[in-house]
Structure 1
Amino acid sequence: MRVGIVGCGKIADGHAEQLQTVARAQLVAACDREPLMVEQFAHRWPGVARHTDFAAMVREERLDVVHLATPPDSHVALACAALEMGCHVFVEKPFAPDAKGAARILEAARVTGKRVSVNYLYNFESPALGLRDLLDAGTLGSIVHLETALGYNLAGDYGMAVMSDPMHWVHRLPGKLFHNVLDHVLAKLVVHFDDDFTVQAIGLRRRPASGNEAIDAMPDELRFMLRGGNGVTACGMVSSHARPVAHTLKVYGSRDTVELDYACRTLVRAARQSQPSALGRLFPPWVQASRFGSNALRNVAAFGRYESHYFQCMRVLLEQFYAAIEDNAADPVPHEEILRVARMIDAIVVALEVRA
């Protein structure tokens, strides 16, 4: 399939890199309204045709698939246009600025009969795939509660860009700083919720004032609680200050509990005291050590198979997306989950506005 990337910023290189490994895909073109951006991208990826007009790229390059790596407020218009021009679409997160926009994209996919998906790559990390197996096998029992944490390093390149430029596209999102990462947080949770949910959320700013009104108005810490009509609850933290920078999920089940660390790629069952009294406190640390050891061996094996790089999870997702197109397989990210994530983000944004 002939593939074009729209938007030649930093994340576009991640898409291009993983497309090189997908046998069903061939990256043939890239587009950006800024000529210098697409020029530099084509220099990094030789053989890619350069365009500054999206519609012209789709027509002239006879594209089958479009990857959108543009700012989120452009996703609805571009995705719908690509679908109507006969392309399948893979969208960088956030999928859309709000649930209304998300619904428009999904409806356009339904009407045109084309596939659309979103880069919820962390749901395809090895710990997440292991969790999916446990859930399918019923090992955890019914889900009672989930806890998730995600760090946002404002001292990194991306954080510095957001905090130094009041015109950065992140400031145009309804949820500002949090909106850019909430898809990753909530995509891990939505499978355990139905559409009947309530949200509570608070945002606060811990960093010192900069003197810029637009930047100082933006919180850098988020706490939220979800309650589903099915009785499941979840709490989440997005933090710019907690160290080490976290990327974790804890799943409490009626039979067992597991902890996932996406950065370290570990999935470990919670400690359980099965022996009585003082003796019972001796063994759990050793059991946990052996479980982490098993994770370490698995990660070493993945390293030996060249499956340990940062975007390995995106590779797994893209392989499933392209298989869905050619083999008429199931969508790797169900559309109802994409829409539910968007609705949850809308609810968090509203909760933050009410408290403000």
Structure 2
Amino acid sequence: MRAALIGTGQIARQHLACLRGLPDVEVVAVCDLSRARAECMAERFDVAAFFTDSAALLSEMRPDVVHITTPPASHFPLAMAALEFGANVIVEKPAALAYADVEALTKKALERGVAFIEDHNYVFNRATRQIRELIASGEFGEVTHVEAFLCLNILRAGSPFSDPNLPHPSLSMPGAAISDFLTHLASLAFVFIGDHRWVHTNWSNRFSSPLPFSEFRALVGGEHATAMLSFSANTRPDAFWLRAYGTKMQAVANLFGTRLTLSRLHRGPKSLNPLINELQEARDLSKAAFQTLLWKLNGSPGSYEGLWDLLARAYRALNYGAELPVSIDQVIAVNRLVSDLVAEVRPP
């Protein structure tokens, strides 16, 4: 499988590091508007060719898969060109700035008979997968509610989101910097509660900030469950909390680490349930602390583990004709939710 990558920013390094270890995958070229960046990335990851023109890359290298890791505003034209060429596309979030553009991209992918995969990496983190496996087995019961709370200090000194001398590309999006993270929240909501029926949002700037919004809250309703989606640039320390509630069990995970704790009903006196769950939680937290330490020491992808898992699944699917890890329907549903979330943005 011949792969090419357009865009050489930070997330591109994760894509290339993962692809380097996948069987039957050859990265044939990288591309960036900056020749120096493209050449540097090609040298770092032993890629034979580099380009500054994506059209030339497509015509000369004829890749089977194109990874698009550029700023969001360029996703649509680059993805459309790759799809029209007949390549499978893996695009970083958000797939496009407008929902209509996402619809156009998915339609083109279906017309050409190729894959169009948006990066929903936190859906594939180990903790998320374990919770979903418990749900699928029936052990978790029916999902009643899920909470996804992303705490990220994008206001810190040196943050690309708050640099007054070089405005971040996301600042042109309806929800400004927070919009860059909505796909993470929306994709988690979708896999737990399905298609949404309604949304209520609150966008605010709780403290003095160079950004138009630094806080976001949304209540999302599905057919049988609800989701609370939150982003905070002011809450410390950084964390990505996922809490799922079911008719038989509850789960809490920090997707920036390896923590996953479960609370359930146990046999015996009801009064002993809190004690048994707390003892189990203490054991799970100790195990998670050790696993997170190993993350730091063994060169693992860390909090990008979900991206690596998603890419491995994508290439297995493309090589062997298996089900794609992120379907066209999922891409459409997640972006429809994102569109409805930003539709309620009001000027601060």
Instruction: State whether TM-score is above 0.5.
Output: yes
**TM-score, normalisation: structure 1:** 0.89
* 1:226 corresponds to: 220
The change in CA–CA distance for 1:195 and 1:131 in structure 2 (over 3 A counts) is: closer
Q: CA deviation at 1:235?
A: 0.9
Question: Residue type matched to 1:334 in 2?
Answer: S
Q: CA RMSD in A?
A: 2.6
CA distance in 1, matches of 2:310, 2:157: 26
Where do 1:188-337 residues align within 5 Å?
188-209=188-209, 215-216=210-211, 218-228=212-222, 230-270=223-263, 275=269, 282-295=275-288, 309-337=302-330
Deviations 1:275-320 (A, max 9, x none): 466x766554323212334545766888999756443322211111
C-alpha contact (below 8 Å) 1:5/1:69 kept by paired residues: yes
**TM-score, normalisation: structure 2:** 0.90
C-alpha contact (below 8 Å) 1:76/1:104 kept by paired residues: no
* 2:74 corresponds to: 74
CA distance in 2, matches of 1:309, 1:103: 32
CA distance in 1, matches of 2:161, 2:294: 37
Unaligned runs of 5+ in 2: none
**Aligned: 1:61 with 2:64:** no
Q: What is the SS of the residue equivalent to 1:270?
A: strand
Q: CA deviation at 1:70?
A: 0.9
* 1:18 corresponds to: 18
CA distance in 2, matches of 1:283, 1:330: 39
CA distance in 1, matches of 2:19, 2:151: 27
Question: More displaced, 188-197 or 159-168?
Answer: 159-168
Question: Residue type matched to 1:131 in 2?
Answer: I
Q: CA deviation at 1:208?
A: 2.2
Question: More displaced, 244-253 or 147-156?
Answer: 147-156
C-alpha contact (below 8 Å) 2:316/2:322 kept by paired residues: yes
CA distance in 1, matches of 2:270, 2:120: 44
Deviations 1:53-97 (A, max 9, x none): 111111111211110001112112211210111211110111111
Aligned length: 347
Unaligned runs of 5+ in 1: 210-214
The change in CA–CA distance for 1:202 and 1:46 in structure 2 (over 3 A counts) is: same
Deviations 1:113-164 (A, max 9, x none): 0112122111111111111210110111111111110022225577344442
CA distance in 1, matches of 2:40, 2:319: 32
CA distance in 2, matches of 1:9, 1:244: 25
Q: CA deviation at 1:331?
A: 1.0
C-alpha contact (below 8 Å) 1:87/1:114 kept by paired residues: yes
Identity %: 27
The change in CA–CA distance for 1:160 and 1:296 in structure 2 (over 3 A counts) is: closer
